[in-house]
Amino acid sequence: MTLRLITSPPSFPRFTCHATALPPSPQISTPTSISSTSQLQSLTCALHCPHFQSCSGCTHEHNLHHPVILEDAKNFFRKYGVTDFTFDTCNLWGWRCRAKLAVRGSSTNPLIGLYEEGTHNVIDIPECKAHHPNINAAVELLRQGITELDIEPFLEDEGTGNLRYVQMAVTTHNTSLPAAKRYMSGKVQVTLVWNSRNETSAGSEKLNALANFLWKKGGPRSRLHLIHSVWANFQTSEKNIIFGNRWRHLLGERDFWEHVGGIDVSLAPSSFGQANTRAFDALLQKLQKYVPYESSVTDLYAGAGVIGLSLAAARKCRQGLMLSYRSIKCIEINKESKVSFEKTIERLPATVDSNITWHHADASK
């Protein structure tokens, strides 16, 4: 276990596949070459994850270049006049930059992963192929800390134990590195969901000890700088809700930044963020091409307002003669997201001249 922590995290081959709704160009080929190509594509576009049969996280294992839902998506967009719909898997492995994982088992044999489908039995997923490699490395570091410090995982039936869940979020925004190296060098923000009311409750000494362990072994002065920051969330509810309402920053950088859609985005651990950072960035770049200039945009379920603010930065919502109609309205039910929204606003280019507002409301009503 220790060897995995002091060496560089494993890097996955970055196979990408592409599918399009446009008809393919005519080609002359033999039946043998078609079969060979199909078999090769099926192999290279497969998940190859050892946890697939038991873990509930992924539902599609083979032919990832052509998932079952792709035809439905094509038909949906065609119905609304979008004839140039394309589908790109981006990275097949190592794409997930945000993960919420349950912590169960015992201090000597902790299980850190997802529930088996239809149950509350946690499946340990140390070699998850979807996770960014540094999430897997941070999970192994956490596992070591739980064992060495005798941290008790949560027992649902009894409501006892210390650590209920962990959230891992990777930031790949590091301007000190060449762009090509930033993704694989991402740092992990760790949120420990602790089974207590606050930081003064019983067991707080173990929380601090675990946070210090992660920072010592994975912080900037360690042999492998892996950890961006450590946060705590306090949750005692008997309901199946991961986070409580109380958050505390413990160690490392307080601000977590990512660069997507042409803007720097601030994301608190309580903020919603897309798990596939690269795919989301590609989606935003494409979305900007479809929104007409001088549009008015309402971003529902906005979170920190990433979609709306990305369009504002692309100058798609510039104020014209009718100023009140050239606006960005971000609507979000989680009031905690407003702080991230305001920090993101501060980094927008000076050329943005939209009327931008954030509203705390339930977009479903």
- Of 33-42, 131-140, 258-267, 288-297, the one with minimum mean pLDDT is 33-42
Task: Check whether residue 245 and residue 112 sit in a common domain.
Answer: yes
Indicate whether 217 and 331 sit together in one domain: no
Q: Is residue 40 part of a domain?
A: yes
**pLDDT, greater one: 281 or 315:** 281
| Residue 274 labeled ligand binder | yes
**Does 349 lie in the same domain as 297?**
yes
Local confidence band at 254 (pLDDT 50, 70, 90 cut-offs)? very high
Say yes or no: 81 and 107 in one domain.
no
For residue 165, the model assigns a pLDDT of 98
Asked if residue 245 and residue 115 are part of one domain, the reply reads yes
Q: Are residues 339 and 232 in the same domain?
A: no
Residue 193 lies in a domain: yes
205 annotated to a ligand binding site = no
**Residue 365 domain-assigned?**
no
Residue 3 lies in a domain: no
Q: Structural domain of residue 219, as residue ranges?
A: 98-254
301 is in an annotated binding site: yes
Q: Which of the listed residues 254, 285, 317 is the one where a domain comes to its end?
A: 254
106 shares a domain with 73: no
Instruction: Give domain status of residue 121, yes or no.
Output: yes
Residue 319 pLDDT more than 70? no
Q: Indicate the pLDDT class of residue 326, thresholds 50, 70 and 90.
A: low
Query: Do 102 and 250 lie in a common domain?
Result: yes
Q: Clarify whether residues 135 and 225 are in a common domain.
A: yes
Averaged confidence pLDDT in the chain: 86
Assign residue 206 the CATH number of its domain. 2.40.50.1070
Q: Specify whether 129 is located in the same domain as 161.
A: yes
> Would residue 4 count as lying in a domain?
no
Q: Considering the chain, what percentage of its residues have pLDDT values greater than 70? A: 85
CA atoms of 285 and 289, how far apart (whole Å)? 7
Same domain, 106 and 250: yes
Tens of pLDDT, residues 10-32: 444 444 455 544 333 334 333 43
Residue 124: its pLDDT value, please? 97
**pLDDT, tens digit (0-9, with 9 covering 90-100), for 218-227:** 999 999 999 9
Residues 118 and 192 in one domain: yes
Q: Give the chain's domain count.
A: 3
Q: What pLDDT is attached to residue 352?
A: 87
Please state, for a pLDDT cut of 90, what percent of the chain lies above it. Answer: 63
Instruction: Quick: pLDDT tens for 174-218.
Output: 989 999 999 999 999 999 999 999 998 988 999 999 999 999 999
